[in-house]
Amino acid sequence: MDWRDTPQQAEWRQGIRSFLKDELPAVFQSETLDFESMMTMRGNPALREGFESWRKALAKRGWVAPAWPTEYGGAGMTAVDQFILNHEFAEARAPGIGGLGVMMLGPTLIAHGTEEQKQQHIPRILDGTVNWCQGYSEPGSGSDLASLQTRAVRDGDDFVVNGQKIWTSGAHIADWCFALTRTDPDAPKHRGITYLLMDMKTPGITVRPLINLAGSHNFNEVFFEDVRVPVKNVIGEVNRGWYVGTTTLDFERSSIGNAVGQRQAVERNINWMREHKHEMAPTDYQASKHQWADRWIDVQVATQLAYRVISMQAAGLIPNSESSIAKLFNTTLSQSIAKSAIKMMGLAGVLTDKSAPMRGSAAVGYLASVPATIAGGTSEIQRNIIATRGLGLPRA
């Protein structure tokens, strides 16, 4: 397969690079920005100003959600054009705008929502006035998501929701939530589920923080107690929400920008190793060289998996097991990179303090990488998908 750009693609790529050079705020070039600060912009006016400036620059071109149809505020890009855009943005460390609203809910609304729902929510996703969170996982329904028990009972023009969601990323700053609820407890577990949109200010919704291993706050648990949600907030058909929900998961798993970030992480660690060679025992240095050679090969594999996904999308196909392969490989690779960094730095590698080597990024990165193999479908679930849908193996 020849992955080189066509003349038109090369021209498009150069135009993106020129745009980034002129428009990307300098604040995003810092390697010290963590996920929590990027989400909340807490105590960082420069970051808030940078995000607003960046949003306006993207919105002028329809690049907040570039693959969306132009009638919904996108640029109507082809899959390959968006792939090139994502690639160049990742190289420049340019942040995405819109969060789960752009990445997951927006495409699902376009595919399954009514025109009224699209007009109500899509403009506010694009202009950043509404943040979204995802209400899928529950304490007893994570990998087996279809066993979820949060109930939604019809009462006139409303559903009354009771139950709990967990590992809800960004719920503490979200304005709305898209959630799966059980509306027919007697139906088979993949049926009787309804996809609802909930205003997080609705009485009866309580958000409690969950602090992760790295000491940061992104996850939450969310409780619903007699929460009234209008029936008009159903996406798709009542009791057919599982199929809407799997559409959302397909968008999440089709991400193709991870390989660039993995490569940049490997490059940063290799540069550190070169700069501190004189501080390492010769045997440790040789061992680290071999480790990073392996990680570099892994990054090339991740890149090829990303190209495999985009080649399918360009051909009008929907990646399924292929996206699961890429997701499984990338999330495992992030842990391998962090583990290699810790080994390279020795005992100092387990320190999370900012005064530690590379500002403690090795230990923090390893702790922060643990949820990646769980979120969006655990590694075990991805292997099941690969086995049954990719290899055609029996379920039992």
Query: What does the block give as tokens for 348?
Result: 């100092």
Count the alpha carbons within 13 Å of 381 in the hemisphere toward its beta carbon: 17
Annotated active-site residue in 225, 252, 267, 275: 252
* 134 C-beta neighbours (distance < 10 Å), count: 26
Q: Answer positive or negative: Cα dihedral of 33, 38, 42, 46.
A: positive
Alpha helices in the chain (DSSP H): 7-23, 35-40, 45-59, 79-91, 99-100, 106-112, 115-126, 241-253, 258-275, 282-314, 321-345, 361-369, 379-385
Residues in the chain: 396
Q: Does 31 qualify as catalytic in the annotation? A: no
Query: Concatenated DSSP letters for 357-384?
Result: GGGGHHHHHHHHHGGGGTTTS-HHHHHH
Distance CA 271, CA 292 (A): 11
205-211 and 176-182 beta bridge pairing? unpaired
What is d(CA 314, CA 293) in angstroms, rounded to the nearest whole number?
32
User: Largest Cα–Cα distance of the chain, in whole Å?
Assistant: 74
CA distance 80 to 161: 41
CB 193 within 8 A of CB 146: yes
Residues involved in catalysis: 252
